Amino acid sequence: MRNFTYSIPTTIYFGKDKLEEIIPEVKRYGKRVLITYGGGSIKRIGLYDKLTALFKQNDIFYVELGGIQPNPRVSSVREGIALCREHKVDFILAVGGGSVIDASKAIAAGVTYDGDVWDFMIGKATVKDPLPLGSVLTLAATGSEMNGSAVISNEETQDKRPMGDPALRPVFSVLDPVYTYSVNKWHTAAGTTDIMSHIFEAYYTVDKDVEVADYMAEALLKVCIKYGPIAVEEPENYEARANLMWAGTLAINGLISYGKAGGDWATHMIEHEVSAIYDLTHGAGLAILFPVWMEYVLDERNSWRFAQMARNVWGVSEIDDMKAARLGIAEIRKFFSSLGMPATLKDVNIDGQHIPVMAKKATIFGALGNIKKLQQADVEEILRRAL
Amino acid sequence: MRNFTYSIPTTIYFGKDKLEEIIPEVKRYGKRVLITYGGGSIKRIGLYDKLTALFKQNDIFYVELGGIQPNPRVSSVREGIALCREHKVDFILAVGGGSVIDASKAIAAGVTYDGDVWDFMIGKATVKDPLPLGSVLTLAATGSEMNGSAVISNEETQDKRPMGDPALRPVFSVLDPVYTYSVNKWHTAAGTTDIMSHIFEAYYTVDKDVEVADYMAEALLKVCIKYGPIAVEEPENYEARANLMWAGTLAINGLISYGKAGGDWATHMIEHEVSAIYDLTHGAGLAILFPVWMEYVLDERNSWRFAQMARNVWGVSEIDDMKAARLGIAEIRKFFSSLGMPATLKDVNIDGQHIPVMAKKATIFGALGNIKKLQQADVEEILRRAL
């Protein structure tokens, strides 16, 4: 087990009717709030009205930035930064899914930075004294509600890049599973896939003797396998929504990575290039790419780890590690299909024409991955096999 | 899943050579420190010298309270409170196992309270503005390093009582598995049993549909089952010590209880009465009592939960829940015996003479437990069956 420093200070208010908890929290950190949200689903489910009523009752000043899109654009972020400066905002409340929270993190970092916010995405700037932020989560998927990471897209350059800093971790997040009832089948399935993908990224490293992290990762996967299909079929099943939501948060708050290298993340980086060009749902891209990536990186040195997951999670009883690993990957592919996720790039009308440029951009900062280092040619081959 | 508020702000410095991390942490919270420790093992392993050298190099004032015993005495606590007041201490650093950390929590609470510290144990006082404390852990067992609970013994009244408050959570803890190399076979086995018992307490509640908590609890149990025997046989096996240490912390920091009722804790309360009179090693008492308690409370309504653990953790494949539950309990008893733990009270030279008084004291504040409420007569019966 590697050395680590555990620090997960975010407070989570989990469950039904927890919205009022935000008032003392917001007051603790600020007086002037930017409320961020997406395409308006928070208005349809009544959350917007409840929230703004609470703010008014408590005399808390707020301005709004709505319309933040999936794969959030840096243009939205810039708009948010301008709003914060204009209205002297000192706290950001993100209300939505990962895209809204990610955009809010970039806004929080950008407000206190003199240059352009895209500098954070290209390594030209580091986060310093960002505005504090909180979140009210409406989609179980990215885990952004309890970590310091964000992924932002640049529509001009067709880039999609991560940024991150512990100081961008929300100081609190409200997780009410009821807010996810209105998430449709497709996004519920994609969200489940996203959660499972985060677990895969944390799991597939070169580390041995890290059973605390490994077994907890397997536990969270089993939750997704049990409750993902139920949530897709029964959108108002509270227990399914609750277990998925909590698993999604724990999957990427650091817990299952402590004691290990920081995860593989090659598949995410490759998917970012695909969805930067094609604006594909992130989870759908991951469902296509992960089994292909697994088959590509599997070898004699790491087969024990693929076999461990196959046996502990997917019910594989095969004794030979390499065979067990392959059976496990087949189960993963089968499961994603059962959720209604696509299996190939062709399934989502993506052909091979941009593969060279995607592979080049994915590796622009160097080789990808932990369990196996991937160069540009490797990424190109993975994308071809995914066609 | 029940509503909950997640808050685990303790920072954990985990791994080799992490001791220096304490200096900026201590300086953040105080200027005058009480260092607490036990019977001197920290001197034998060189930790005391390293620590006091660090304090001197950094010009941090400290006083010491050594000699804190297992099942820590309220007399030690009172002594610590007097020392803190005399030297205007503003931070406590506990260096040792759970007993030292527990005593330190009681000292931290007692310093800022006008009455006698035992008041906290009898519900006569609540914790208010305690001194901040940190810990350097030398035994994987109680999990006190990341929670706000303590158990203190009163040698005059032969009482052993818990107290707790979120404000008593250490602000940081240093977990270096190497510091546990010198823990002997008996205490390593008892510590493993203690960790597993905390998981049992969290696991055996009436809640359904709480798979995130359940599966993570099972993950931590599997870590104990894998690494407990290795640590007993190979005291300097770093990976075994590291996995046990981290599992022990996560077992009782709240993580595996979120979304559930607060745990059962009947067995712990019964064991406290036994060790209050006989000064038995806590883990050994739990090894004796847990299987008996399980058999006593098992019934048709809760057999699914016992069966779930039997299948997911103990390799039981039996389909019938009640049969699977009994097979699981048999495996637990077998495992504790394999660790060298006693199986009956007679094994540790305890006869039945004090059973009535122990049962009476255990239920003095009311019935015990969550999965089944236990009255005085139930406790008496469990103790008799444990003979």
Q: How far is CA A102 from the centre of its chain?
A: 9
Rounded CA gap, B381 and B367, in Å? 14
Across the interface, do B246 and A239 touch by the CB < 8 Å criterion? no
CA-nearest of B155, B82, B172, B88 to B121 is B155
Rounded CA gap, B205 and B184, in Å? 33
Q: For the purposes of burial, counting CB atoms within 10 Å of the CB of A376, is it exposed (0-12), middle (13-18) or buried (19 or more)? A: middle
Q: What is the pLDDT of residues A216-259, one digit of tens each?
A: 999 999 999 999 999 999 999 999 999 999 999 999 999 999 99
Rounded CA gap, B333 and B292, in Å? 9
- In chain B, which residues fall in CATH 1.20.1090.10? 184-385
CA-CA-CA-CA torsion sign (A277, A280, A281, A286): negative
Q: B184-385 domain in CATH 1.20.1090.10?
A: yes
Rounded CA gap, B339 and A320, in Å? 31
pLDDT in tens, chain B (387 residues): 999 999 999 999 999 999 999 999 999 998 999 999 999 899 999 999 999 999 999 999 999 999 999 889 999 999 999 999 999 999 999 999 999 999 999 999 999 999 999 999 999 999 999 999 999 999 999 999 999 999 999 989 988 899 999 999 999 999 999 999 999 999 999 999 999 999 999 999 999 999 999 999 999 999 999 999 999 999 999 999 999 999 999 999 999 999 998 899 999 999 999 988 998 999 999 999 999 999 999 999 999 999 999 999 999 999 999 999 999 999 999 999 999 999 999 999 999 999 999 999 999 999 999 999 999 999 999 999 999
> Which of B146, B246, B255 is the best substitution to test chain A (most A C-beta atoms within 10 A)?
B246
- In chain B, which residues fall in CATH 3.40.50.1970? 11-179
B-chain CB neighbours of A1 within 8 Å are 14-15, 177, 238-239, 242-243, 246
Residues 6+ apart with CB under 8 A from B324: B303, B306, B307, B310, B311, B316, B318
Distances in whole angstroms, Cα of residue B380 to Cα of each of A134, B22, B200, B285, B297: 51, 46, 21, 15, 14
Helical packing angle, A185-203 and A211-233, nearest 10°: 170
Q: Please give the CATH number for the structural domain made up of B11-179.
A: 3.40.50.1970
Rounded CA gap, A36 and B53, in Å? 51
Rounded CA gap, B283 and B304, in Å? 27
- Yes or no: say if B133 and B171 are a contact pair by the CB < 8 Å rule: yes
CA-based radius of gyration for chain B: 20
- Yes or no: say if A327 and A316 are a contact pair by the CB < 8 Å rule: yes
Across the interface, do B12 and A6 touch by the CB < 8 Å criterion? yes
Which ipTM did the prediction report?
0.96
A-chain CB neighbours of B226 within 8 Å are 211
Instruction: Number of A to B CB contacts under 8 A, please give it.
Output: 122
Rounded CA gap, B186 and B193, in Å? 11
Locus of tokens 């000064």: B279
Residue B46 has a pLDDT of 95
| CB contact burial A75-89 (16+ within 10 A = b; e otherwise) | ebbbbbbebbeeeeb
| Tokens coding A40 | 């308006």
Across the interface, do B1 and A216 touch by the CB < 8 Å criterion? no
Pairing mode, strands A149-154 and A159-164: antiparallel
- Yes or no: say if A77 and A99 are a contact pair by the CB < 8 Å rule: no
B-chain CB neighbours of A247 within 8 Å are 212
